[in-house]
Amino acid sequence: MTGVEHISRSGKPAVVAHRGASAELPEHTLAAYELALDQGADGLECDVRLTSDHELVCIHDRTIDRTSNSAGVVSEMTLAELRELDFGSWHESGKKSSVLTLRELLTLTLDWRRPVRLFVETKHPVRYGSLVEQKLLGLLHEFGVGMPPSADHSRAVVISFSSAGVWRIRRHAPMLPTILLGDTARLLGGSAATAVGATGIGPSVETLRLYPDLVDRAAAAGRVTYCWTVDELVDVQLCADLGVRWVATNRPAKVRDWLVTVD
């Protein structure tokens, strides 16, 4: 499914499942993303890294120590080696899971029964540098979502803390929406996002509490705001009041329920 349907929640923030429904199931696993979709998430968020054989896998950390039953550096391991490991039993749910590739997550997202947007975060600094964005764009083009008719109708969004990473995407795929992430108002206040052509800014919820004017400043420049990681009712209310477009959360079902009640 690669249509151009709008994904919207009638003026309230849309809900992005941060690494899937990661409060309930192991992050970056197929089960966590399937649960988030069943719970009605409007979008899914993942982090991607390259293996030593240049496959994109959904892993947040530089190493697999925290989220697997083994240890090692992602960029020094092949996909086949990662396939042999358990990426789920560390979680309190105890659910065994294999490593998830971006190809598998894209397939799930685009084949889902309703339109869902995938937010892909490229990690930097990394061993392979710009190859991460090159491989990502190649995969998005393969799935037919690398050249959307407009940012509003795109099924994929590339997000990164790296200004250079965002710029690489904008240069090679100008219609693909991009979000410059950051945890300081100085980075997100305008100049950096303008310089790289980002279509949105991504403050942490802690930054947004300190600098709520970021949302209006971004809107005045034609940019949306994506806020992470929003897991508490008071922060959901704040994002709704300020006009945040997307909220990333580990608890998509709970946040969706809260958004029904907020003004």
**Residues present in the chain in total:** 263
Among candidate residues 18, 28, 124, 141, the one labeled active-site is 18
Give the CA distances from residue 103 to residues 96, 107, 110, 142, 242, in Å, rounded to whole numbers and listed in that order: 20, 6, 11, 10, 35
Among candidate residues 6, 28, 54, 60, the one labeled active-site is 60
Quote the DSSP letter at residue 25. Answer: S
Quote the DSSP letter at residue 24. Answer: T
Residue 18 is among the residues annotated as catalytic for this protein = yes
d(CA 263, CA 252): 18
Cβ atoms 95, 89 nearer than 8 A: yes
The dihedrals phi and psi of 222, each to the nearest 5 degrees, come to 80, 25
Beta-carbon contacts of 91 under 8 Å, excluding residues fewer than 6 positions away, are 25, 26, 27
d(CA 26, CA 88): 5
d(CA 11, CA 243): 8
> Catalytic residue positions?
18, 60
